[in-house]
Amino acid sequence: MPEVETQIRAYFDEVVERVTDEDIRIRATTERGIPIRSPRFQIRPIAAVAIGFGIAMTVLGGVFIAEAWFVPETADVAGNGVGSSTGNAERHSPGLLLLLMAGFGLLAFGMWSVRRSAGDVRQRGDDDMQTIERPETLQAPSGELTRLRKRNRLLGWAVVILAVAVMGLGAWLISDVVASDDLTTVPAEVDAALETYNAAWLETNRAAFLDATTEEYTFASDQGTYGQASQASQVGVLAYFEFELFERVIMGDGNPYYVASEQRVRFASAGTWYDGVSIVTLVETDGTWKVAQHTWVGEVP
């Protein structure tokens, strides 16, 4: 048996297919689409676009549905069990399900397109990797091959940019939805301070009112602006007070928090309900959250 070096050379001389400059020119200038590559990587642009849109729509649809069905729309700050049911019909509308289904449909279409392109290659009997061993079967462009035709990557780049744009839009919308959730949530200690303040009003508890408000506390309405002492006396003499909370929006991302609540209130002295919006400003002083200002915009007795 010959030496190993000789054997290796004989083996490679037999099995290695050499490439000439003519092969290269033909390969570079012939029409593309010859199935010389793995079907696994033949993803058509339409499939890429469909998959990109499908993913974005599915994610968005899922987020919206989760938000609509599982996140409560109103907060029961007063603890009186009253919440709003307004808008639930819109939130649970079939449009969200349609969005989700459309996303699934696009995804399915994209996957089907990919499978079909792979299947086309298999149907032509080109499942195995092909080599350029029959140059006479290749279609060279007419005319003398003097200049190389560059590959057009414009479509590929367009697909990539479009996919990134779609995903970016989806991420932006998702972040918007997530951020909007923050409009109804505040830290637990802030929520507790607000609840204490509301409870003081409901229970006409003057001491609790003074404890829940700062010394600079003011209450403002169309009837005027009152200080802490003045309002404390009102709290102390009110025989009956109740309110219902419909909507709550949190503004500010730290100290202070502004809590705007759509409410209706009723006093014992006047049996009718008064609708309006309370804007309560909460500040942190010495590690304790207290109400610094309360503005009532709406009907007054």
CB of 132 to another protein, least distance (A): 7
Nearer to another protein, 40 or 124 (CB): 40
What phi and psi values does residue 2 have, to the nearest 5 degrees? -65, 170
92 binds another protein (CB under 8 A): no
- Cα separations in angstroms, 26 against 23, 136, 148, 172: 5, 10, 10, 47
36 binds another protein (CB under 8 A): yes
154 binds another protein (CB under 8 A): no
Give the tokens for residue 45. 């642009």
Among 63, 132, 166, 173, binds another protein (CB under 8 A): 132
Beta strands in the chain (DSSP E): 213-221, 224-227, 241-251, 257-267, 274-285, 288-298
CB of 162 to another protein, least distance (A): 23
18 binds another protein (CB under 8 A): yes
Residue pointed to by tokens 């509308």: 93
140 binds another protein (CB under 8 A): no
Nearer to another protein, 131 or 142 (CB): 131
158: Cα separation from own chain's centroid: 24
CA distance 209 to 231: 9
Among 48, 116, 147, 265, binds another protein (CB under 8 A): 147
Residue-wise burial string across 254-264, b where 16 or more C-beta atoms lie within 10 A, e elsewhere: eebbebbbbbb
169 binds another protein (CB under 8 A): no
3-state secondary structure of 37: coil
146 binds another protein (CB under 8 A): yes
* Number of residues near another protein (by CB under 8 A): 39
152 binds another protein (CB under 8 A): no
Give the tokens for residue 256. 């202070």
CB of 149 to another protein, least distance (A): 9
Enumerate binding residues for another protein (CB under 8 A): 1-21, 23-25, 27-28, 36-38, 40-41, 129, 131-132, 146-148, 150-151
